[in-house]
Structures are given as structure tokens and as C-alpha cells.
């Protein structure tokens, strides 16, 4: 029986260099993205994965991350979306779907599935990524992982809440929100 071994909190996020769709402007659609970019800039990283392009739940999540793009940027966080589809499929989907045309973050293409495999997030039967979100600190260490099955969308507000809590570097109680008191030790 196949078992996922999802990389978790405390592990170093794997090295990668992948093509991504960064624009719909002719001859500027693609750029190579690496694991080192956020570290070189002293930024946090949120990388979220979806199973397949041209599906139904995925664009709702991608659009919601895009609506909150400024929130991530204000937290000095690089936002990257990813799937195992190619950069050409990503570009076609962005052109085809109204909610995806104006994306402000890269859509990473892991066509070799090497990064998804190293992260331990591939569905055993379909060999597509689960709906997984990683929060990685500026040193490249995973600080939070959330994994959803293929049919359930995630909550972007919760990703922001957890990012806020991690950035306090303090003890944050259940349901803590930015601006509330942290716990004293």
C-alpha cells in the first residue's frame, strides 16, 4: 500500500528550480522560480498546491489567494501556486478563466512531479498533488503544513492567520488573531 510521507514542520523545504507562468503578456509569460528567491530576500514563503488545472474547486482557491495577494505581500511573504500541470497548461487556463487572468503570483509547473514527490504530496492513484499549503520561514524551514483531500477547498483566511501567528515568534492561543494578546510565559 502506498503511503504519503508529507514533509512537515521543522524540515527544510526542498531545493527546486521550475518554470512558472508569471504573466499573460506575449514573450514574458514564463520565468524560472527557485527555492532560493524568498531566502535571498529574507521573506517568508507560502506555496499552495492544487490537483489539476481546468477543474472546479481549484480556481476558487487560486482566485481567493489572488484577492489576498496584498495581505501576503504586506507580511513580507512570497506567494506561489503550484500543480503538476505544465507551464503551457497554466498559461492556457489563465487565458481561459476570467478569475485567473489577473493573477499577481506565479503558477509553478512541476511537470516532472519531482518537487511534489519530494514533498510527499502526490495522490497514489492519479499522481496529482493534494491540496497542500506550506508556510516556510526565511531560512527555508517548513513552519506549517495543511493537507486537504482532492475535493475540499482550503481557507485562505486561516493561512493568513497562521502566518501572522508564526511571525510573532510568540505563543499564540487557540483562535488567536493578529492584534490580540499573545501568551506570556
Set 58, 77, 172, 174: catalytic member:
58
Predicted confidence (pLDDT) per residue in 39-86, tens digit: 999 999 999 999 988 877 777 888 899 999 999 999 999 999 999 998
- For the chain, the straight-line distance linking the first and the last C-alpha, in angstroms and rounded, comes to 44
Predicted confidence (pLDDT) per residue in 99-138, tens digit: 777 888 999 999 999 999 999 999 888 888 999 999 999 9
77-83, strands of its sheet edge to edge:
30-34, 17-21, 107-109, 77-83, 44-49, 131-136, 142-148
Q: How far is 61 from 42, CA to CA, in rounded Å?
A: 26
Provide the CATH number for the domain formed by 11-167 in this structure.
3.40.30.10
pLDDT value, residue 18: 97
Please give the model's pTM, rounded to 2 decimal places.
0.92
Q: Give the residue extent of every domain in the chain.
A: 11-167
Q: How far is 66 from 21, CA to CA, in rounded Å?
A: 14
Q: Are 118 and 135 in contact (CB under 8 A)?
A: no
In the residue annotation, 172 being an active-site residue is answered as no
Amino acid at each position: 500500500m502506498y503511503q504519503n510521507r508529507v514533509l512537515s514542520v521543522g524540515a527544510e523545504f526542498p531545493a527546486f528550480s521550475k518554470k512558472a507562468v508569471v504573466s499573460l503578456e506575449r514573450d514574458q509569460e514564463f520565468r524560472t522560480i527557485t527555492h532560493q528567491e524568498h531566502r535571498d530576500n529574507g521573506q517568508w514563503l507560502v506555496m499552495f498546491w492544487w490537483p489539476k488545472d481546468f477543474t472546479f474547486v481549484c480556481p476558487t482557491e487560486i482566485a481567493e489567494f489572488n484577492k489576498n495577494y496584498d495581505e501576503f505581500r504586506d507580511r513580507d511573504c512570497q506567494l506561489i501556486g503550484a500543480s503538476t500541470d505544465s507551464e503551457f497548461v497554466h498559461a492556457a487556463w489563465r487565458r481561459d478563466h476570467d478569475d485567473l487572468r489577473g493573477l499577481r503570483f506565479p503558477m509553478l509547473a512541476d511537470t516532472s512531479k519531482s518537487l511534489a514527490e519530494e514533498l510527499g504530496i502526490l495522490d497514489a492513484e492519479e499522481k496529482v498533488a493534494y491540496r497542500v499549503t506550506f508556510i516556510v520561514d526565511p531560512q527555508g524551514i517548513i513552519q506549517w503544513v495543511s493537507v486537504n483531500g482532492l475535493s475540499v477547498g482550503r481557507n485562505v483566511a486561516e493561512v493568513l492567520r497562521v502566518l501572522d501567528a508564526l511571525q510573532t515568534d510568540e505563543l499564540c492561543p487557540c483562535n488567536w488573531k493578529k492584534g490580540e494578546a499573545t501568551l506570556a510565559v
